[in-house]
């Protein structure tokens, strides 16, 4: 899945500490996001924000300042709000991973998305939360589910990055994996050699032969590895004759 990052709008509401703005900018850039909106920040622009942004000063330079959340989100089709508290009126809520996948789908369908992050000390008000279509919760230790602003932004930006990229394990084999017939020949050759040098007894009560078979089946060597091992075992058998 690709990512239409220009359609994903990170919105910080009334941020008190400029360093948090810089840290969020850094979190965004490391995960491929660049559109930052600030609603009534207490201190911005700021040298502290620049310092904590690392090399993400371009995100700060292109950030837009708004006087209201409504203005910041007016072009978005979908609005999400981060919240860690239970509210009196329940709202559609997704965890961060599921929300990120949905956000990627929406942006790739050319729909604008805004994600609201609240104040450091009290988050978003009930009225502000109700501006969102969906709330996002970041799973955390229920005994202490406390994440600061930059941490929350980093987690959600990472989930969006992960959802937009193929993070499945890549096939690292440079030779084809050995087929079943050749794997069984390798196993038999290994067991035969181990018996010949008296490392194991064919009637071993600890079922070591079964464990050897399981080990090779689990490792599943490639053709080059199997060929080397067969040659190695053949050399051992030649030496003991």
Compute the residue count for the chain.
241
Question: Which of 8-17, 104-113, 161-170, 197-206 holds the top average pLDDT?
Answer: 8-17
Where are the CATH 3.40.1280.10 domain residues in the chain?
A: 5-164
pLDDT tens for 106-148 read 999 999 999 999 999 989 999 999 999 999 999 889 898 889 9
| Mean pLDDT (whole number) for 160-177 | 80
Beta-bridge partner residues of 114: 9, 79
Q: How far apart are CA 134 and CA 116, in angstroms?
A: 11
pLDDT band at residue 241 under the 50/70/90 scheme:
confident
Give the per-residue pLDDT at 177: 86
The highest-level CATH class for domain 5-164 is alpha beta
Other Cβ atoms within 10 Å of 13 Cβ, number: 22
Q: What CATH architecture applies to the domain 180-240?
A: Orthogonal Bundle (1.10)
182 pLDDT above the threshold of 90: yes
Where are the CATH 1.10.8.590 domain residues in the chain?
A: 180-240
Q: Which residue has the higher pLDDT, 153 or 209?
A: 153
């Amino acid at each position: 899945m690709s990512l239409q990052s220009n359609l994903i709008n990170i919105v910080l509401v009334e941020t008190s500490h400029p360093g948090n703005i810089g840290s969020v900018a850094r979190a965004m850039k490391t995960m491929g996001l660049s559109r930052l909106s600030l609603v009534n920040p207490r201190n911005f622009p700021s040298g502290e924000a620049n310092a904590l942004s690392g090399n993400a000063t371009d995100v700060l330079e292109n950030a837009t300042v708004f006087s209201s959340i409504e203005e910041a989100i007016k072009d978005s089709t979908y609005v999400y709000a981060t919240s860690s508290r239970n509210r009196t009126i329940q709202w559609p809520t997704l965890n961060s991973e599921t929300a990120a996948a949905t956000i990627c789908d929406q942006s790739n369908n050319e729909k604008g998305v805004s994600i609201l992050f609240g104040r450091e000390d009290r988050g978003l008000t009930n009225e502000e939360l109700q501006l969102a279509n969906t709330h996002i919760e970041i799973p955390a230790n229920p005994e202490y589910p406390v994440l600061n602003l930059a941490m929350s932004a980093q987690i959600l930006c990472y989930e969006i990055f992960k959802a937009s990229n193929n993070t499945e394990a890549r096939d690292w084999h440079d030779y084809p994996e050995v087929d079943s017939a050749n794997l069984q020949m390798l196993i038999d050759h290994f067991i035969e050699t181990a018996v010949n040098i008296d490392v194991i007894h064919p009637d071993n009560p600890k079922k070591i032969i079964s464990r050897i078979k399981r080990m090779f089946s689990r490792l599943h060597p490639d053709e080059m590895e199997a060929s080397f091992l067969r040659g190695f075992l053949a050399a051992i058998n030649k030496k003991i004759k």
